């Protein structure tokens, strides 16, 4: 079920109303039932995969807690193999097969690996990673094994964050299912406000920008120059508004029921460096890789070479997490390279900044840093969005052709019903979003707004809802990009 | 229930009511302005399929059929009444099939001729025009469409979209740009009155079309975007036809050679997918309906009068052969 669908418009109020009406002892069951229904709206039979990993990890948690020494480790490894195994079959098998077949063909080996005709279960990487964080935390002794199977299942399946995160940690979420929640005016309105903001980002901004992006990136070889540049910039904001919008709806809908989920985005395009960008973008995944991959590999407490290696491997895996395609692997590797390059050149860059006087002008320095970081992120997004490496390479080569204004709204874009006004409107929305985010670094807009009287707040809620309805794009609810991961 | 909870519930209910009432009021802005809209021809098409006695040939597809068939000629050659349901590709294959499914009767021949684009992504589910089409649907057809979609899709979504469109139209009008963004239905070709009694567009016949070299062509999406749901839809119509004692066939659309040449592998993959995934017999080949640019009016699917004649003759030839083979034609 999509957050931006009519079904959710009916589903959510019904679930929330019932949640607060029924006695506390039945609430976990109600939420679990609702979560099953939510998940089964995609491909019902895939619920079995989810139940399989839930059963394995539930048992593993208890076995790890009860065991000692090497047996603890053995149970953890079994749980990780089960989770990674599901991912390997559904997400990576075809990728590995296709590559193995390509290698076999080069060397004329008479092998052919099968390609499975299966659809990737929605949100598989999210709930698998959340499940793995549970067994790892139990292994590390930072989380007691959950004995209540229903509560554990709910930890994995909690519908607001089931299919696209935030990827929660057991220490933050599990205990909340035991808490007794009551209707609190401030908390409910805070949650609804976040949901409205998230939906605005998704249907008004992301889906509108997507129209241009899809036309260009579905057939990039037909475009040149500014078309490709505009499409890449639009994609940067499309994916941000799409995913941050989803996260806000997830966090908001959980908050309405009394649950606190972790923040997933923090104005990433105002980052002054790539490392800062990664501390603000998809925070729950970045911190997952930091805690369960980067630090166990040795983190920065190692030789310089090893540190760089740890960084690179972490980003390479992050790329692979996003999709079984070389474009994602290169996207991850490129981000790893950016980080290593920024570490290697830190002193040289500071010297250049001092030499050109940028260091003594902090505002200008910040603006330049933000612009450079954004440009680097956009270069990486090309690999993320392009369907093939050939397409991505075409984008880079053709984007540098002599720019003309006609390239911004070429005939192929017009043929899809996208006018000059629409492109202008897209830029206007981006400027509006960035202005809002820039102001919010200095002023706590939400806090200020919350202090306003009801006759100011509720008309704003009305205007926001009407804007989502009337300015939003699409008739069919469009799936969120991150569902595919 | 605490006073704060009561206050919250009252405010949420009031907000919801304000939104619904506003939407309904906004939706009235253009409620009576769409009588000559090209899509309003749905009403005539609906009347046509209901009133044409069986056995009949029902042509199902998008505008490739509307612009590219001479139904009278087909009727005279094959000796069966022809109902051309072709209107607009972006209504989606599912809608087109839902529109005809209840009216397939014994002895009918259903020929499904969708545009290639129907088979990728969400195209077959229709775009925004589907909502307009559903608003035009006669009240007694609503249950038919609900069976293929859902009550939300058929009743709620079109009204929500109508309000959205009305708002944008009113806003464009307020800044004096209504005609720029919402051109009036005065187009002599794309108009409700452009059709003859068989459902063929005839308003373009003899008119000068677009410069053939400017007709937009594009590569079809990659096969990974193939929408498997379209196979289920084709399977469903084939099943309906079998149960009604009718025949169903899949045929390829008219297509400009420039577009065909860059899409040969994609179209071949598509043909194999359809042949392997649905039991509807494929008749003719994609190449049978590929024509040079001078036969196209304004898009890669829309034929001129001359192109329409050639295509109709080819379709007659193909249908005559399968009709004799399958026993519905002597």
What is the nearest CA distance from B151 to chain A, expressed in angstroms?
A: 11
Contact between chains at A183 and B2 (C-beta distance less than 8 A): yes
Task: Calculate mean pLDDT across residues A203-212.
Answer: 90
Supply the pLDDT for residue A243. 92
Confidence of residue A474 (pLDDT cuts 50, 70, 90): low
Closest CA to A332 of A372, A283, A393, A278: A278
Contact between chains at B131 and A188 (C-beta distance less than 8 A): no
> CB distance from B219 to chain A under 8 Å?
yes
Supply the pLDDT for residue B69. 95
Chain B residue numbers touching A221 (CB-CB < 8 A): 219
CB pairs under 8 A between A and B: 65
Output A146-149 pairs: Cβ under 8 A, ≥24 positions apart.
A146/A58, A146/A61, A146/A170, A146/A174, A147/A62, A148/A28, A149/A58
Instruction: Give the Cα separation of B240 and B258 in Å (integer).
Output: 36
Lowest mean pLDDT among A235-239, B120-124, B272-276: B120-124
- As a whole number of angstroms, the longest Cα–Cα distance in chain A is 75
Supply the pLDDT for residue A114. 77
Contact between chains at B168 and A189 (C-beta distance less than 8 A): no
The C-alpha R_g of chain A, in whole angstroms, comes to: 24
Q: Quick one: how many helices (H) and strands (E) in chain B?
A: 14, 6
Confidence of residue B31 (pLDDT cuts 50, 70, 90): low
| DSSP assigned state of B89 | G
- Asked if A116 and A50 count as a contact pair (C-beta separation under 8 A), the reply is no
Q: Which residues contact B158 (CB under 8 A, 6 or more apart)?
A: B131, B132, B134, B135
Instruction: Give the Cα separation of A231 and A395 in Å (integer).
Output: 10
Confidence of residue A415 (pLDDT cuts 50, 70, 90): confident
- Asked if A163 and A35 count as a contact pair (C-beta separation under 8 A), the reply is no
The C-alpha R_g of chain B, in whole angstroms, comes to: 22
> CB distance from B229 to chain A under 8 Å?
no
Whether B166 shows a pLDDT value over 80: the answer reads no
The partner residue sitting opposite B127, judged by closest CB among A185, A387, A475, is A475
Supply the pLDDT for residue A418. 82
Query: Within its chain, how far is the Cα of A85 from the centroid?
Result: 22
Supply the pLDDT for residue A160. 93
Query: Within its chain, how far is the Cα of A383 from the centroid?
Result: 16
> CB distance from A424 to chain B under 8 Å?
no
Sheet containing strand B247-250, strands side by side: B81-84, B56-61, B109-113, B247-250
> CB distance from A458 to chain B under 8 Å?
yes
Mutate to test the interface with A, among B19, B123, B273 (most CBs of A within 10 A): B19
Instruction: Give the Cα separation of B142 and B153 in Å (integer).
Output: 11
Task: Calculate mean pLDDT across residues A171-186.
Answer: 91
Confidence of residue B259 (pLDDT cuts 50, 70, 90): very high
pTM > 0.80: yes or no: no
Whether A110 shows a pLDDT value over 80: the answer reads no
Dihedral angle, C-alpha A176, A179, A180, A185, nearest 10 ° = -50
Q: Pick the residue from chain B with its C-alpha nearest to A10.
A: B152
> CB distance from B127 to chain A under 8 Å?
yes
Confidence of residue B74 (pLDDT cuts 50, 70, 90): very high
Q: Pick the residue from chain B with its C-alpha nearest to A217.
A: B221
Supply the pLDDT for residue A477. 46
Whether B32 shows a pLDDT value over 60: the answer reads no
**A81-97 pLDDT, tens per residue?**
999 998 888 888 888 88
**B102-158 pLDDT, tens per residue?**
999 999 999 999 999 999 988 888 887 888 888 888 888 888 888 778 777 777 778
> CB distance from B40 to chain A under 8 Å?
no
Task: Calculate mean pLDDT across residues B77-85.
Answer: 94
Instruction: Give the Cα separation of A82 and A132 in Å (integer).
Output: 10
Supply the pLDDT for residue A467. 86
The structure tokens 């990664």 sit at: A278
| DSSP assigned state of B219 | P
The partner residue sitting opposite A475, judged by closest CB among B7, B18, B131, is B131
**Beta-carbon count within 10 A of A274 CB:** 23
Whether B33 shows a pLDDT value over 70: the answer reads no
Residues 366-405 in A contacting B (C-alpha not used; CB under 8 Å): 387
**A37-53 pLDDT, tens per residue?**
999 887 888 888 889 88
Lowest mean pLDDT among A118-132, A310-324, A332-346, B166-180: B166-180
| DSSP assigned state of B226 | B
Say which residue, A270 or B26, is predicted with more confidence: A270
Q: Pick the residue from chain A with its C-alpha nearest to B162.
A: A470
The mean pLDDT value of chain B amounts to 87
The partner residue sitting opposite B163, judged by closest CB among A183, A454, A470, is A470
Whether B279 shows a pLDDT value over 60: the answer reads yes
Whether A464 shows a pLDDT value over 50: the answer reads yes
Task: Calculate mean pLDDT across residues B223-243.
Answer: 90
Whether A475 shows a pLDDT value over 80: the answer reads no
**Beta-carbon count within 10 A of A292 CB:** 18
Contact between chains at A458 and B128 (C-beta distance less than 8 A): no
Catalytic residue annotation of A = 322
- Asked if A170 and A152 count as a contact pair (C-beta separation under 8 A), the reply is no
> CB distance from A89 to chain B under 8 Å?
no
- Asked if B167 and A463 count as a contact pair (C-beta separation under 8 A), the reply is no
Q: Among residues of chain A, what percentage have pLDDT more than 90?
A: 53
**B183-198 pLDDT, tens per residue?**
666 667 888 889 999 9
Q: Among residues of chain A, what percentage have pLDDT more than 70?
A: 97
What per-residue string of b and e applies to A419-447 under the rule 16 or more CB within 10 Å gives b?
eeebbeebeebbeebbeeeeeeeeeeeee
Q: Pick the residue from chain A with its C-alpha nearest to B170.
A: A470
Tokens representing A450? Answer: 């919350």
Confidence of residue B311 (pLDDT cuts 50, 70, 90): very high
Supply the pLDDT for residue A267. 93
Instruction: Give the Cα separation of B162 and B145 in Å (integer).
Output: 18
What is the nearest CA distance from A16 to chain B, expressed in angstroms?
A: 12
Closest CA to A457 of B206, B11, B81, B136: B11
Tokens representing A96? Answer: 């590995």
Lowest mean pLDDT among A432-436, B218-222, B247-251: B218-222
Torsion B208-B212-B213-B219 (CA) sign: positive
3-class DSSP assignment, residue B126: coil
What per-residue string of b and e applies to A79-104 under the rule 16 or more CB within 10 Å gives b?
bbebbeebbeebbebbbeeeeebeee
Q: Among residues of chain B, what percentage have pLDDT more than 90?
A: 51
**Beta-carbon count within 10 A of A466 CB:** 17
Task: Calculate mean pLDDT across residues A99-117.
Answer: 79
Confidence of residue B39 (pLDDT cuts 50, 70, 90): confident
């Amino acid at each position: 079920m999509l957050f931006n669908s009519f079904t959710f418009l009916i589903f959510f109020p019904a679930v929330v109303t019932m949640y607060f009406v029924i006695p506390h002892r039945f609430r976990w069951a109600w939420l679990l039932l609702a979560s099953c229904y939510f998940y089964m709206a995609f491909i019902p039979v895939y619920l079995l995969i989810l139940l399989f990993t839930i059963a394995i990890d539930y048992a593993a948690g208890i076995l790890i807690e009860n065991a000692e020494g090497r047996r603890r480790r053995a149970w953890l490894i079994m749980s990780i193999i089960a989770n990674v195994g599901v991912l390997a079959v559904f997400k990576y098998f075809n990728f590995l097969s296709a590559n193995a077949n390509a290698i076999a063909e080069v060397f004329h080996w008479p092998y052919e690996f099968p390609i499975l005709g299966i659809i990737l279960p929605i949100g598989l990487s999210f709930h698998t990673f959340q499940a793995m964080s549970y067994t790892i935390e139990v292994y590390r002794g930072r989380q007691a094994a959950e004995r209540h199977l229903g509560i554990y299942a709910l930890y994995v399946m909690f519908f607001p964050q089931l299919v696209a995160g935030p990827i929660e940690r057991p220490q933050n979420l599990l205990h909340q299912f035991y808490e007794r929640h009551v209707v609190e005016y401030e908390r409910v309105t805070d949650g609804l406000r976040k949901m409205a903001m998230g939906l605005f980002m998704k249907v008004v901004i992301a889906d509108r920008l997507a129209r241009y992006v899809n036309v260009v990136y579905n057939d990039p070889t037909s475009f040149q120059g500014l078309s490709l540049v505009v499409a890449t910039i639009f994609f940067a904001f499309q994916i941000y508004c799409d995913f941050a919008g989803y996260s806000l709806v997830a966090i908001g809908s959980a908050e309405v029921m009394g649950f606190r989920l972790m923040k997933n985005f923090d104005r990433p395009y105002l980052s002054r460096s790539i490392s800062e960008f990664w501390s603000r973008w998809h925070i729950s995944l970045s911190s997952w890789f930091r805690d369960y991959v980067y630090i166990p590999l040795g983190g920065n407490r190692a030789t310089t070479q090893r540190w760089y290696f740890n960084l690179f491997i972490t980003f390479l895996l992050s790329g692979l997490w996003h999709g079984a395609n070389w474009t994602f692997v290169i996207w991850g590797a490129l981000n790893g390279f950016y980080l290593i390059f920024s570490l290697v050149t830190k002193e040289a860059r500071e010297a250049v900044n001092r030499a050109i006087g940028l260091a003594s002008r902090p505002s200008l320095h910040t603006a330049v840093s933000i612009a450079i970081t954004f440009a680097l992120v956009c270069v990486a997004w090309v690999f993320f969005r392009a369907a093939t490496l050939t397409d991505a390479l075409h984008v880079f080569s053709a984007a540098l052709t002599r720019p003309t204004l006609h390239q911004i709204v070429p005939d192929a874009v017009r043929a899809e019903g996208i006018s000059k006004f629409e492109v202008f409107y897209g830029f206007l929305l981006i400027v509006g979003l960035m202005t809002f985010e820039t102001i919010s670094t200095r002023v706590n807009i939400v806090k200020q707004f919350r202090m306003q009287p009801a006759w100011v707040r509720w008309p704003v809620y009305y205007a926001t809802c009407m804007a989502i309805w009337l300015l939003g794009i699409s008739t069919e609810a469009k799936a969120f990009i991150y569902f595919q991961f | 229930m605490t006073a704060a909870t009561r206050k919250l519930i009252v405010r949420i209910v009031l907000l919801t009511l304000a939104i619904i009432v506003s939407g309904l009021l906004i939706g009235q802005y253009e409620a009576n302005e769409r009588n000559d809209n090209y899509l309003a021809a749905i009403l005539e098409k609906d009347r046509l399929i209901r009133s044409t006695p069986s056995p009949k040939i029902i042509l199902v597809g998008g505008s490739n059929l509307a612009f590219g068939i001479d139904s009278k000629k087909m009727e005279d050659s094959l000796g069966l009444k022809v109902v051309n349901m072709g209107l607009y590709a972006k209504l989606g294959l599912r809608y087109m099939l839902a529109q005809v499914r209840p009216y397939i009767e014994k002895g009918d021949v259903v020929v499904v001729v969708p545009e290639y684009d129907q088979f990728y992504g969400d195209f077959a589910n229709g775009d925004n025009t589907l909502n307009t089409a559903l608003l035009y649907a006669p009240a007694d057809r609503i249950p038919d469409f609900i069976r293929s979609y859902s009550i939300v899709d058929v009743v709620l979504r079109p009204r929500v979209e109508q309000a959205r469109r009305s708002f944008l139209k009113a806003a464009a009008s307020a800044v004096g740009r209504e005609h720029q963004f919402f051109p009036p239905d005065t187009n002599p070709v794309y108009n409700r009155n452009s059709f003859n009694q068989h459902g063929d567009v005839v308003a373009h016949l003899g008119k000068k079309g677009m410069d053939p070299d400017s007709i937009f062509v594009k590569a079809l999406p990659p096969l990974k975007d193939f929408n498997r749901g379209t196979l289920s839809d084709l399977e469903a119509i084939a099943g309906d036809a079998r149960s009604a004692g009718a025949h169903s066939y899949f045929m390829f659309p008219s297509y400009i050679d420039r577009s065909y040449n860059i899409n040969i592998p994609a179209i071949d993959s598509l043909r194999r997918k359809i042949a392997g995934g649905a039991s509807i017999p494929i008749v003719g080949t994609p190449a049978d309906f590929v024509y040079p640019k001078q036969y196209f009016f304004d898009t890669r699917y829309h034929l001129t009068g001359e192109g329409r004649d050639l295509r109709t003759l080819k379709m007659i030839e193909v249908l005559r052969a399968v009709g004799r083979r399958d026993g519905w034609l002597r």
